[in-house]
Structure 1
Amino acid sequence: MGGGEEEFIEADNAEAIITTIEHKSHKIESLLKQYKPVEALKTALEGTQAMTGDERCKTAHWLVVHRAIMAIKDVDGVLSSLDPEYYDILMKCC
């Protein structure tokens, strides 16, 4: 497998991840409209294991997480009540 093929596969994977993040963004907006910011944050943090080193993916993911965090009024309270797995993910993506 040549270097060009590996880059192509990585690009395809990145596009798939971007599409997944876009779908996740719609779900988060729906949760925020229902006044469920904690659920929105958890949704934003789920599935980050599939993230690649692609900067577009990292940026798109951060924007979704940021959107959910900005809707939370008591950030300190929410962060202290997060399950350790979510807190760990949040610390890794910031």
Structure 2
Amino acid sequence: MNINLITYAAHFAILCFALGTVICTIRLFKGRSPQDRAWGLDAMYVNAMLLIITLGILFRSSWYYDIALLIALFGFAGTAALAKFLLRGEVIEP
């Protein structure tokens, strides 16, 4: 059984990103303020994106990178909309 160092590092990174996602989920549900919950959501999508990129490295497939790019785009748009909502109370101004 010949497993190289990249495989061990990828498995360790997957474990760390999954643990980070779980911790961010706890912050998302038990946050003291809406800003804490927004930060938890932002960190959760970043951890999910990095988890999918690591899976792409591990399985040597380019599909994972496309999915990670979509998560990054939707996460950025969601964070911007949530920040605007927390700041002004509405997302779309009349």
TM-score range, shorter chain: 0.3 to 0.5
TM-score normalised to structure 1 length: 0.44
TM-score normalised to structure 2 length: 0.44
Q: Which has the higher contact order (CA 8 A, sep 6+)?
A: 1
